[in-house]
Amino acid sequence: VQLVESGGGLVQAGGSLRLSCAASGSAFSITTMGWYRQSPGKQRELVALISLIGSGSTNYADSVKCRLNISRDNAKNPMYLQMNNLNPEDTAVYYCNAVERSPLGFFSRWGQGTQVTVSA
């Protein structure tokens, strides 16, 4: 599957951004999608996950709860990350992730990333 992110940019503290991740070309079912971020000198960390099976449950990192919302309406629509009340600590490259389930097992796929910069 190919993942293409968009929607990053520069925003002032307290502002909002919406990231999009479009998935295409998957020959297998995608079980989970999510957003991760990486700041300079830090490891990539989980931001939010959404299950594409069952009830579509979501999970968030403690640092972003109540400020960020992950969503995906159906398989034809992109996955979104609505980010509100942003602060400089949210500055990072944000990566879209999808987990494919194939007969050989589960495979993790990544997008190229989109930069989010929050100014004080």
Residue 55 pLDDT? 82
| DSSP states of 10-43 | EEETT--EEEEEEEE--SSEEEEEEEEEE-TTS-
CA atoms within 13 A on the CB side of 106: 8
70-106 pLDDT per residue, tens: 999 777 789 999 999 999 999 999 999 999 999 999 9
Summarize pLDDT for 30-84 with one digit per residue, the tens: 999 999 999 999 999 999 999 988 888 999 999 999 999 999 977 778 999 999 9
